[in-house]
A and B are shown apart, each in its own frame.
Chain A
Amino acid sequence: MLKDITLGQYFPGDTAIHRLDPRVKIVLTVEYIVLLFLAKWFFSYGLILLFLVCSAITAHIGAKTLMSGFKPLIIIIIVTAVLNILYTPGEPLVSFWKISITKEGISTAFFMVLRILLLVCGTFLLTYTTSPIRLTDGMESLLKPLKKIKVPVHELAMMMSIALRFIPTLIEETDKIISAQKARGADFTSGNIIRRAKALVPILVPLFVSAFRRADELATAMECRCYNNGENRTKLNVLVVKRADYAAIAVGVVLLAGTLIFRHYGL
């Protein structure tokens, strides 16, 4: 069912990685992504992979869970691999008709796919171990300097946390509506495209109606509690950088230095 979608889902836990300050985790993830694009050869990728594996083990996230994010990307990955193999110029390995497969092509394709997979795993590890609320808290805190140039950081963070908060609710609601319409004999799986598109009407209409109703109720509730746009608001959970966070930052620095050195020597 829809519930089984793991994209961006949070798995509650109480490991060192779960407890890290979200700001540290966000910064480390950004660093990890940048390094992925700087990495050149097996050694630098190996170092990054080591970092990922250690983090996943510490967070008690299994390989199966981590890789469940690949499924929707399979097509993109295959297309990337094929295009890179076919269109990278260089020393031809095999060639037939107008197509030639080059040594460079194979290695580019390999690293490209590796890069995408590591990218997905890394970002999923962040969302698996950080609750949406802490994630937006972290973002808000990191983006605070932008307030100086009149970017409505708090409002954006608020909108984002509301949106994140309502994704599970809407998924649950969709599940319920689908079940209710199925109970009246609705069939979503047979017929041509037009029939199937029409079959969505009994789901989408109630879903939109309820989404608007929820939005309206939420707005009223916020107004009743005199919500204002974040002036002088204090936080229930204040973010503090602890010893473990300094350790994580140190690991991040080592990773950065290591990858840059490997890159310098083209490894």
Chain B
Amino acid sequence: MSPIIETQKLTHIYSKGTPFEHLALDGVDFSVDPGEFVAVIGQTGSGKSTLIQHLNGLLQPDSGKVLFNGQDIWSSKAFNNSIRFKVGLVFQYPEYQLFEETVFKDISFGPRNMGLSPSEIEERVYEAAGFVGLTEDQLAKSPFDLSGGGKRRAAIAGVIAMRPEVLILDEPTAGLDPMGSRNLMENIRAYHRENNAAVILVTHNMEEAARQANRLTVLSGGKIVMDGTPEKVFDNMEALEKMRLDTPEITQVFSCLRRMGFDVPQSVYTVEQAKSVLLDGKWGLGNA
């Protein structure tokens, strides 16, 4: 399958030519297939936010290319403008971008910019609100009257309403309560499933990355240092720790068990997996 979005030798330098010059991305080759769910992890300052802002053309590469369906997104101005609607980007703390009088109007900002008809806009707003679990009541309110979590949902709906083929989220659950986080992740999964959209999730939460993604990409110092299935990535516990990253807690528990002499598998990274492994019963934990 050919990737829906791809970067080739992507390099980004902030404040080029000043004393504050900073190489944020260094020859990154990153690609995502249609319908894939990829998590991007990496310590703070590793270049995750910089990378995703390249994917919808908000930043321009200092060298290298970004391709959407094989076409360079900087090849023409018209194509570049249309990319914003095909690759939806939800920023870190997106609730600070709300500005309209009502939540409904705010969510419709994207579709309005796409030049859709009023009936189409309305349909999309209700659909997007449905995905993130906003009620009709809430749609009529001022966005500033919603709770923190409600604002976050409204802001995410504002991007989903454009029905992007690639949905990128920068730490969407930061600062939400556990229940709210889980809920929101389920909403995003639903969008992923029903529209067969590719999702790129930037996160610091290893459990979340392990549970949601088919593939993990690890950034460090502006370079991709690991890339593969969660099993493969979390197998390198030492390498991850060197980059000041964790493995999921349950994986750590299992590696402890191994050290204590139990012959449990190493590649356990969700609680559900752990449960089924333990209930298999052949590890003899009960009579240890």
A residues sitting closer than 8 Å to B (CB atoms) are 3-4, 11-13, 173, 176-177, 179-187, 201-202, 205-206, 209-210
* Chain A: minimal CB distance from B287 (Å): 56
| Chain B residues with CB under 8 A of A201 | 99
* Chain B: minimal CB distance from A8 (Å): 15
A180 near B162 (CB under 8 angstroms)?
no
A184 near B96 (CB under 8 angstroms)?
no
| Chain A residues with CB under 8 A of B58 | 179, 182-183
B97 near A181 (CB under 8 angstroms)?
yes
| Chain A residues with CB under 8 A of B30 | none
Max count, chain B CB within 10 A of own CB: residue among A3, A179, A180, A201: A180
* Given A183-B91, A184-B109, CB of A206 within 8 Å of CB of B158: no
A-B contact pairs, 15 of them (CB 8 A): A3-B15, A12-B19, A13-B19, A179-B91, A180-B91, A180-B94, A181-B109, A182-B58, A183-B88, A183-B91, A185-B85, A187-B113, A202-B109, A206-B99, A209-B96
B77-107 at interface with A (beta carbon < 8 Å): 81, 84-85, 88-91, 94, 96-99
* Chain B: minimal CB distance from A185 (Å): 3
A185 near B144 (CB under 8 angstroms)?
no
B99 near A205 (CB under 8 angstroms)?
yes
A181 to B109, CA, bound (A): 9
| Chain A residues with CB under 8 A of B162 | 184-185
Taking CB as reference atom, which chain A residue is nearest B91?
A180
* Chain B: minimal CB distance from A227 (Å): 27
Query: Does B225 sit within 8 A of A, measured CB to CB?
Result: no
| Chain A residues with CB under 8 A of B138 | none
A185 near B97 (CB under 8 angstroms)?
no
* Chain B: minimal CB distance from A251 (Å): 26
B91 near A176 (CB under 8 angstroms)?
yes
Q: Which 7 A-B pairs have the closest CB atoms?
A: A185-B113, A205-B99, A180-B97, A184-B110, A183-B89, A180-B91, A202-B99
A181 to B162, CA, bound (A): 13
A183 near B99 (CB under 8 angstroms)?
no
* Chain A: minimal CB distance from B12 (Å): 13
Taking CB as reference atom, which chain A residue is nearest B82?
A185
Tell me the dominant secondary structure on chain A's binding face: helix
A176 to B155, CA, bound (A): 14
Query: Does B53 sit within 8 A of A, measured CB to CB?
Result: yes
| Chain A residues with CB under 8 A of B91 | 176, 179-180, 183
* Chain B: minimal CB distance from A60 (Å): 9
Taking CB as reference atom, which chain B residue is nearest A205?
B99
A184 near B144 (CB under 8 angstroms)?
no
A29 to B56, CA, bound (A): 47
Apart from A180-B96, A210-B96: 5 A-B pairs, beta carbons within 8 A: A183-B58, A184-B110, A184-B158, A187-B113, A209-B144
Residue from the list B15, B19, B81, B113 in contact with A184, Cβ < 8 A: B113
* Chain B: minimal CB distance from A3 (Å): 7
* Given A179-B53, A179-B58, A209-B144, CB of A186 within 8 Å of CB of B113: yes
A55 to B71, CA, bound (A): 52
| Chain B residues with CB under 8 A of A181 | 97, 109
Query: Does B41 sit within 8 A of A, measured CB to CB?
Result: no
| Chain A residues with CB under 8 A of B88 | 183
* Given A183-B58, A184-B158, A184-B159, CB of A206 within 8 Å of CB of B85: no
Query: Does B114 sit within 8 A of A, measured CB to CB?
Result: yes
Taking CB as reference atom, which chain A residue is nearest B53?
A179
A181 to B19, CA, bound (A): 30
| Chain B residues with CB under 8 A of A3 | 15
* Chain B: minimal CB distance from A203 (Å): 8
A12 to B19, CA, bound (A): 9
| Chain B residues with CB under 8 A of A209 | 96, 144
* Chain B: minimal CB distance from A162 (Å): 21
A181 to B112, CA, bound (A): 12
Taking CB as reference atom, which chain B residue is nearest A180?
B97
| Chain B residues with CB under 8 A of A183 | 56, 58, 84, 88-91, 159
Question: Per-residue 0/1 for B108-126: is the Cβ within 8 Å of any A Cβ (1 yes, 0 no)?
Answer: 0110011000000000000
| Chain A residues with CB under 8 A of B97 | 177, 180-181, 184, 202, 206
